[in-house]
Amino acid sequence: MSEINNKKRKIDGVQDKKDSSNYHPFPLLRNKKAVIIETEYELRKKIKDLENQLDAQKLKYELKLSELNGKYLEEHMNLEHSIDTLRIENVDLKKLAQDLDLEKQNLETTRRIIYEKEIKSKETIEKLEDELKKLKNETKLELYQTNSESISLKEALFNSQQDIQNYISSNEFNINSINDNFKNYEEIINLLRTELDKRTNQLNEKITQLKEVERLYKDTQIENKKLRQNATKEEMNIIKKELQNQLKYIREIEKKNKDLSKQNEYYKGKNVNVEILKEEIKTLENKAKAMNILHEKIFQLEIENSKLLNEHTKWTSFLEDKDTINFDSPQEIAKALASQRIECALLKQKEGEFNAKFASQQEYINELETKVNELNSKYQKEYSNNQNNLKIISYKEKSKELTQRRIDMLQEQLVNIKL
């Protein structure tokens, strides 16, 4: 800039001299040089302004590029992370799909087994229905046997009823005689009880007297101990006499007590005999009650026998002539049918559980598919956003290249102008 100013000053001085002398040897050359200097100055100024602008734009673009690179790296990392998670989820989903396929296969096998069992159960039911028709001959034999048994039971019932009536008549006579004896014994027992009560009262009185005597004896012993310390020989003799008298009295009471206890045992023995008679009467009454119960049981057995006969007639009407049977009784057939029905119900229950489980697994698969679709859509959005960002970055890089080319062209123009 200083050189240009100096040159300008020199040119101005030369022009002033030439103007003052009015001497213009090369007017065209002077004008050309001035124009070149002015254009060079302006071009240099413009170039510097352009360089400053280019540097500022470069800084801006570099900052934007660094920001975009950071965002790009972050988004790239996030994309890689999401891709890894999607891959892991895809692997898990594949495993789940494999497990579900295995479960499907297992469930199909179980369903097949259930279906085969159902077919077998149907076949067994058909066999049972066929075998039910074969019950006729044996039921006829059973009917004949039951009829003969019922006749024998009726005869036995008639004989037992006669025996029971004879036994009841003999027992009634015995019971009447026992009742008469029992009344007499009751009167004797009442008298004995009154005497026992009197004797027990006397015994209780004697026992209370004995207790009082014992208490007095203890008191006298205590007093003796006290008196021994202070009493004389005469007083001791008097006390000994009183003690001997009391001992005699106690011994007499003890003898009376023994006599009363013997009498009490005698009356107790009589009371035991009376109790034995009462127990015998009770046993006879119980036997009479048992006979009544037997009558009732016989009546119930007759009713059951009639029911069995009716049932046999029903079975004979139900069965046909040309049948053979592998079962021993109709109850066994009913049990077999019930077991087959239970097995069929269990198989149907298992089928329902299997269907419910399969439906729940299908719902879970649908949920996983929706999640996968959501993740795919999210991934597509992120991918499109990243593609847009990449386009913006490439556009900015191209604009940067264009500006660089402009700068290079301007620099080349400057070089050409200098030359």
Q: What is the pLDDT of residues 249-299, one digit of tens each?
A: 667 767 776 776 676 676 666 665 666 666 766 776 777 677 677 767 777
Angle between helices 136-230 and 233-318 (to 10 degrees): 170
Within 8 A by CB and 6+ apart from 198, the residues are: none
pLDDT band at 248 (very low <50, low <70, confident <90, very high): confident
| Percent of the chain with pLDDT strictly greater than 70 | 42
Predicted local distance difference test score (pLDDT) of residue 267: 63
pLDDT-derived band at 178 (thresholds 50, 70, 90) equals low
Asked, for residue 169, whether it belongs to a domain, the answer is yes
Q: How many domains does the chain have?
A: 1
- The residue length of the chain stands at 419
Query: Among 130, 125, 129, which residue's Cα sits nearest to residue 343?
Result: 125
Q: DSSP string spanning 221-240? A: HHHHHHHHHH--HHHHHHHH
- Residue 153 resides in a domain: yes
Please tell me the distance from the alpha carbon of residue 349 to that of residue 286, in angstroms, as a whole number: 56
Structural domain contains residue 44: no
Inside any domain, residue 284: yes
DSSP 8-state assignment for residue 96: H
Would residue 274 count as lying in a domain? yes
pLDDT recorded at residue 10:
47
C-beta of residue 132 within 8 angstroms of C-beta of residue 333: yes
Structure-model confidence comparison of residues 137 and 49, the more confident one:
49
Q: Average pLDDT in the 67-93 region?
A: 72
**Any idea what the Cα angle at residue 268 is, between residues 266 and 271, rounded to 5°?**
115
- For 80, other C-beta atoms within 10 Å of its C-beta total 10
Average pLDDT, the chain: 68
Residues of the domain holding 207: 140-321
pLDDT higher for 16 or 233? 233
For residue 234, what pLDDT band results from cuts at 50, 70 and 90?
low
Please give the Cα distance from 179 to 175 (Å, whole number).
6
Any idea what DSSP says for residue 135? G
Is-contact 271 192, C-beta < 8 A? yes
Kindly state whether residue 74 falls inside one of the protein's structural domains: no
Span 5-34, average pLDDT: 46
Whether the pTM exceeds 0.75: the reply is: no
150: nearest Cα among 313, 301, 330, 293 = 301
Q: Kindly tell me if the per-residue pLDDT of 23 is higher than 70.
A: no
In a domain, 304, yes or no: yes
